[in-house]
Amino acid sequence: MIIKRRMVEKISGLRSGVLLDVGSGTGTFVKTMKGRGWDVTGLEPDSDARNLAKKEYHLELSGTENIYKFPEKSFDVITLWHVLEHVQDLSSYIKVLSSLLKENGWIFIVVPNYTSFDARVYKECWASYDVPRHIYHFSPVAMETLIKMNGMRIEKYKAMWFDSFYISLLSSKYRNEQLMSRNFRSKGKPGWIFAIWVGIISNLFALFNVKKCSSVIYVIRN
């Protein structure tokens, strides 16, 4: 969360402001930003996560349906950390995010990238497909089109370096389970060493082109 906080403050140039975090989970990022003096509103669809945020951090998170109830131009910064792939009405969601952003505001959206090296290696076992929980799957080209269609622009692309390792470990687990279900036990089981190797190679590709990262952070402006 410290990395996210530093990135938001460095790119936006703000040390405080009004922030909307969509998909807050148990509220760790909300707590971090509040601790820095930000005025933060957290939205989370899962009632158990909201209850845990209240218990652990004394945070009052609201349901994500409330995103349509805020006045226009309410927020300096809006963050969605691995949220957009779960959204059902994608177009209207992007429109409302744009309307809620103040002039010179910033939106940070992180989504998995199905054109990454690790996605090509694991194919249907790539953990970030996560069907049916992930309704949409994104490439940088698709995100560029979506953002442009809604009157905004992508200002920067940033890498989520650790995602390649986490996703590769999960993907190796899923592929092992698939092989075992087909009685291919004798064909070898790529484990954590293979997954780490895939994560390293994936990040090497992203070093030269951040749009090849396993998960990409899109920094967006009106």
Structural domains in the chain (count):
1
CATH of the domain at 42: 3.40.50.150
Answer whether residue 12 is part of any domain: yes
pLDDT 10s digits, 155-200: 999 999 999 999 999 999 988 887 777 665 545 455 889 999 999 9
pTM over 0.85: yes
pLDDT tens-digit series, residues 206-218 = 999 999 999 999 9
Average pLDDT, the chain: 93
Instruction: Read off the pLDDT of residues 36-47 as tens digits, 9 standing for 90 and up.
Output: 999 999 999 999
Host domain of residue 143: 2-113+130-161+210-221
Classify residue 84: in a domain, yes or no.
Answer: yes
Domain presence at residue 59: yes
Report the residue count for the chain: 222
Residue 17 lies inside a defined structural domain of this protein = yes
Residues in Cβ contact with 199 at an 8 Å cutoff, skipping those fewer than 6 apart: 118, 164, 165, 167, 168, 169, 214
The pLDDT assigned to 189 comes to 53
DSSP 188: -
